[in-house]
Amino acid sequence: MSKIKIIGDSLLKGIYYDESKDRHTILKNSGIERLKKDGYNITNDTKFGLTTPKALEILKRDINTFQQFDEVYIELGGNDCNYDWDQVSLNPYKNHQPVTPIDAYESALCEIIDFLRTYQIKPILVSLPPLDYKQFYCYIIKGRNEANIMAFLKTKEEIYLHQKRYNDVVYKISRQKKVDYIPLREMFLDRVDFLNFICKDGMHLTENGQEVIYESFLKFM
């Protein structure tokens, strides 16, 4: 059985938004934890807030620990595509950039893949679960200037489309570099009721959403 390491953000860590407490917490029975209980040899090294350049930095720093693994699953982009909404709220007309601009995101993701292959570690890309842009919009305007945020976005749908552009990069790289690809996003979008699997913050996943993670990884494995 392959030894697997997962690098990614809070979605695969099992973080969800508890609306009753207005805070994020960790589901004990996340999709990845269920796979581990099934006997898969997985080290879940996902981190809340992790970006692709930071993941690359960690990979280069800790390559000795990575070398014990056969495969590395990569689910990154959700934090990269986000904006500093406090700054947007203050002045929507500045040239605001995402946490990681999309060209830098693509470059860092490609470098991660190439670096892993240099050490004979197989990279596997995971597509980004979709956002519920209406809920995400409600989440980011709390305590902020809604009119300014709307002036920056132009349309609420831009939230969804902007994140999708980052996922398009994941898919493009998987094709260009012939990297195995787990269609997690596609498995959500195949469900008519997929919005019910997304928390009220518009981005993290409910327990049912974690079930989709479990099913998509299980199909691939």
CATH number at 70 reads 3.40.50.1110
Domain assignment present for 181: yes
Instruction: Tell me the whole-structure pTM to 2 decimals.
Output: 0.93
Under the banding of pLDDT at 50, 70 and 90, the label for residue 149 is very high
> Residue 207 — φ and ψ, nearest 5°?
-60, -40
Domain assignment present for 118: yes
Domain assignment present for 190: yes
* Domain count of the fold of the chain: 1
How far apart are the C-alpha atoms of 188 and 195, rounded to whole Å? 9
User: pLDDT for 168-209, tens place per residue?
Assistant: 999 999 999 999 999 999 999 998 899 999 999 999 999 899
Identify the domain containing residue 174 by its residue range: 4-82+100-130+162-194+204-220
How large a percentage of the chain has pLDDT more than 70?
Answer: 100
**Three-class secondary structure of residue 82 per DSSP:** coil
Domain assignment present for 150: no
Domain assignment present for 146: no
What is the DSSP code (8-state) at residue 79? T
Task: Name the residue among 102, 106, 116, 96 with its Cα closest to residue 174.
Answer: 106
How far apart are the C-alpha atoms of 141 and 48, rounded to whole Å? 21
How many Cα neighbours within 13 Å face the side chain of 144? 22
